[in-house]
Amino acid sequence: MTPPINRVARIATLAIAAALPLWSLSATSGAATVTDNVNVVGYSVVGPAFKALETSFLATPAGAGVGFTNSFGASDTQTQNVEAGQSADLVNLSYEANISSLVTTNKVSASWATQEATYGRVNTALTGRAAQTNYSTPGIVTDSVVVFIVRKGNPLKITNWSNLTAKGVRIVTPNPLTSGSARWNLLAAYSSQLQLGKTPAQARAYLKLFITHTVAQPTSGSAAMAAFVAGTGNVLVDYEDDAKAAVAAGDPIQIVTPAQSLLIENPLALTNTGLTNPGAKAFYRYLFSAAGQGIFASLGYRSVLTTIWKATSASFVKFTKPNSLWSVTNINSQGWKSVNSTFFWPTVVFATGSTSTTTRGLVTYLERFAGTAA
């Protein structure tokens, strides 16, 4: 689901107004005749950001003659659509496994993560005049963290993960069958317990409680926000950037950042058709530029470009001990390659001799308990 158009317009306008003075964008308008159309496919929440990014890009010399066709929705659904033949030159999806799936189906090059150095001209390994990135995972265009969104005034006094499984708490989080946001949220819930010193068995038990308190699982992150703002549940688990955008748009919510959270890394890739599209390659570079990253930052994303992160980090919650911010590799050193099957495999596989301890598809198994505590 795409956010209501008036909200998208408000957010995009705020982003452009905030970014223009900061990053000195060119005022040159793009040409009226489109010679390079760029098909952009992305996860639902990032749609408003691309509205602002595309508008600003078209005002630069590199944007002359470029046009855009956009499609934003639940990340897993978008991935499946591209695999099925939907046109896509550039994909910005929720998590790395989505891109890996497109590699498997020959839509994206296996070397997609190196595109940030080749076309974006940024990389942690580059020196001298080349821009540096503020992270160690290649191919990531924005960072975020998992947060709680509550009603204005925080009537239930929710401050931490244990509060989410208290009596009467009704959680809204997207559906893990369709949404990357849902997967980040569930992994954050699980890893929060490990960060607190709990055992994997205790973390699994907590995750079951978390899911039983879940009363709605909309198809995407933006659909989950819309449901929450409309009155469903009393706490929404979401991207920090989506929460900040909702506050900027005037929604009656409040952000609670738990002391234990998970680093969200959103990948960007040129597809095989995008590699032959000059406009797509130019726009890819723009997304990693100071101007592009400045717009992302103005919308609540944690910039991956070191210079922009240093200029904007004061507006973000910091994670210093005893608080902690984990990444997927803290859960398993192999990252999404292992985590995706352990938690989200569609077929549940139990450990030998067990009917409740899974080796694959933990969340798939626990989903049968969703809403039972409501």
Place of tokens 């100071």: 290
How far is residue 364's CA from residue 344's CA, in Å, rounded to a whole number?
A: 6
Half-sphere exposure of 265 (CA within 13 A, CB side): 22
Q: Has residue 190 got a pLDDT over 90?
A: yes
Q: Has residue 124 got a pLDDT over 90?
A: no
User: pLDDT tens digits, residue range 333-362?
Assistant: 999 999 999 999 999 999 999 988 999 999
Calculate the average pLDDT of the chain: 91
CB 253 within 8 A of CB 229: yes
CATH of segment(s) 143-263+322-369: 3.40.190.10
How far is residue 260's CA from residue 118's CA, in Å, rounded to a whole number?
A: 35
Q: Has residue 118 got a pLDDT over 80?
A: yes
pLDDT recorded at residue 210:
98
User: pLDDT tens digits, residue range 65-76?
Assistant: 999 999 999 999
CATH of segment(s) 5-141+266-315: 3.40.190.10
- For residue 328, count CB atoms less than 10 angstroms from its CB and return exposed for 0-12, middle for 13-18, buried for 19 or more: buried
What would the mean pLDDT of 40-46 be, rounded to a whole number? Answer: 97
Residue in 15, 76, 12, 3 with CA at minimum distance from that of residue 41: 76
Q: Has residue 18 got a pLDDT over 70?
A: no
Topology alike, domains 5-141+266-315 and 143-263+322-369: yes
pLDDT recorded at residue 61:
96
For the chain, helix (H) and strand (E) counts, in that order, are 15, 13
pLDDT recorded at residue 293:
97
How far is residue 191's CA from residue 163's CA, in Å, rounded to a whole number?
A: 16
What would the mean pLDDT of 134-158 be, rounded to a whole number? Answer: 95
pLDDT recorded at residue 32:
58
How far is residue 157's CA from residue 85's CA, in Å, rounded to a whole number?
A: 47
Against a cut of 0.85, is the pTM above it?
yes
The helix (run of H) or strand (run of E) holding residue 235 is strand 235-239
pLDDT recorded at residue 373:
75
Q: Has residue 201 got a pLDDT over 80?
A: yes
Question: For the CA atoms of the chain, what is the radius of gyration?
Answer: 20
Q: What ranges do the domains of the chain cover?
A: 5-141+266-315, 143-263+322-369
pLDDT recorded at residue 3:
44
The helix (run of H) or strand (run of E) holding residue 340 is helix 336-344
Structure tokens at 241: 């950037």
Please state the φ and ψ torsions of residue 268, each to the nearest 5 degrees: -130, 140
Three-state SS for 67?
strand
Label residues 251-265 b or e (16+ Cβ within 10 Å = b): bebbbbbbbbbbbbb
pLDDT recorded at residue 13:
42
User: pLDDT tens digits, residue range 238-271?
Assistant: 999 999 999 999 999 999 999 999 999 999 999 9
pLDDT recorded at residue 30:
40
CA distances from 8 to 122, 133, 299 (A): 29, 28, 11
